[in-house]
Structure 1
């Protein structure tokens, strides 16, 4: 694995190694030193094909997302908060769990969705909680932990989870053994007043972390996030989970990995 000072990094293959076709990114990640990967959507490929790619490259699968709508559609960030769309949400959870089990994925992220126009926030949030509660019960016994992620209002206006505290409240209500937080440092750095303080506060509830700098969403060290302090906090608090590299490389993926030793001090 890319392991530095005890912190485990995995490659998000939606964002990294995009200079290659998707199926070739597994070997590229392994060659760069990664031993684990994540990506949002495995669904264009048969699970058996992806499982074979993982095995051939010696990689573990850490996370996938449940299905979302097409880019640009109202469902692009998920179905969970959409009244009248529970059947689609549930079908997506079933499919996601099937893929997660087949790939050996530790986590299934359930994107919360954008509140539809004409629907009150209270109604959309109530639908969200009902759907996540159903998913938590459905995932019981699978060995897959469900993840909830807040996204920033700038990139995702109308997103139903409007901050780490909001996501944490849902996790608390449903039981942290089944539902955990996905703390995305990029999103949190935009929406929270102090990203390091937020990380310290919510780390006990956090099952997985994703990273990208802000602004720009490139690799750490290209923006304004205080990365040495972020990583020092993770070390000091004994975080032993994975850190997903979900950034858009400023140049070429492998060459840009010099940030690891520069920012984790």
Structure 2
């Protein structure tokens, strides 16, 4: 496997989680990384106190790590939730309350990619109602991202692990990307291409890369089966990343995989 020329960042919401949040950037730096990404770090709180935001900013600065990707509030993640923006009532209100908080924090640390998870279908609620709410909230998020020169990411998950999530294919996610761009006229919504999720859906990964590389704003990887590090499964990840680079993708690739049994720090031997 050769991963030459790829730019990797570590997802600190799945790796180094054995450590407190504020110790993870330094651990990533000690493992050789200068870029990291995060799911929303406070899953119970879309609007944390300024002291908590300042603490995370200081930890990133002290470690010399740049935050290159951040999720908006998405409910309990990891856990049963897969986003909040399409859920009528309290959860979508919490998402809206989080938009400026997350965007301002991203601006303060130079992060220019914000991921908005769509949210599960709600039993007894018309999907069309959820989709209309989602578009409204995604447009708000896209405008906030544009205010700081950032892109808004839309992600497809996988049906086996997220059976209530409606965006379980690359075309479904890209369709939402197109709707958001049409609604705002900003053209700053992009596809988050997660090779693990798409492989779990049985998609033709080279065909997805060919079709959507030009609309991809961020890439995430894990091997399949197992969602482990590259080389623990059967996905041709090096070939797919090479194909993405040849297609013009020059952005970051997030390492969003489960750590090895030996721990997070031992989960990067494949890079050598």
Q: What is the CA distance between 1:228 and its match in structure 2?
A: 2.9
Structure-to-structure mapping, 1:120-199, within 5 angstroms: 120-175=126-181, 177-199=187-209
- The answer as to 2:255 corresponding to 1:250 is no
Contact 1:47 1:102 in 2 (8 A): no
Separation of aligned partners in 2, 1:73 and 1:27: 26
1:208 aligns with 2:218: yes
Which whole-Å CA distance do the structure 1 matches of 2:77 and 2:256 have between them? 18
For 1:1-265, list aligned pairs within 5 A.
Answer: 4-43=3-42, 46-70=52-76, 76-85=81-90, 86-175=92-181, 177-251=187-261, 252-261=263-272
Question: Which deviates further from its counterpart, 167-176 or 22-31?
Answer: 167-176
Question: 8 Å contact 1:78–1:112 — kept in the other structure?
Answer: yes
8 A contact 1:26–1:54 mirrored in 2: yes
**Cα pair 1:50 1:103 within 8 Å, conserved:** no
CA distance in 2, matches of 1:197, 1:256: 29
Quick check: 139-148 or 83-92, which moved more? Answer: 83-92
Aligned Cα RMSD in Å? 2.1
SS in 1 for 2:220: strand
Q: What is the CA–CA distance in structure 1 between the aligned matches of 2:199 and 2:78, rounded to whole Å?
A: 24
Which structure 1 residue ranges, 5 or more long, are not aligned? none
Contact 2:103 2:144 in 1 (8 A): no
**How far apart are 1:144 and its partner, in Å?**
2.2
**Structure 2 Cα separation of the partners of residues 248 and 124 of structure 1:** 31
Worse-superposed segment, 54-63 or 225-234: 225-234
How has the CA–CA distance of structure 1 residues 232 and 126 changed in structure 2, closer, same or farther, with 3 Å as cutoff?
same
CA gap 1:72/1:59 in 2 versus in 1, 3 angstroms = closer
Is the 2:68–2:112 Cα contact (8 Å) retained in structure 1? yes
CA distance in 2 between counterparts of 1:193 and 1:56 reads 41
CA distance in 2, matches of 1:241, 1:135: 21
Quote the residue 2:45 is aligned against.
Answer: none
**Alignment coverage as a number of residue pairs:** 258
TM superposition shift of 1:141: 2.0
Unaligned 5+ segments in structure 2 are: 43-47
TM-score by length of 2: 0.87
| TM-score where L is the length of structure 1 | 0.89
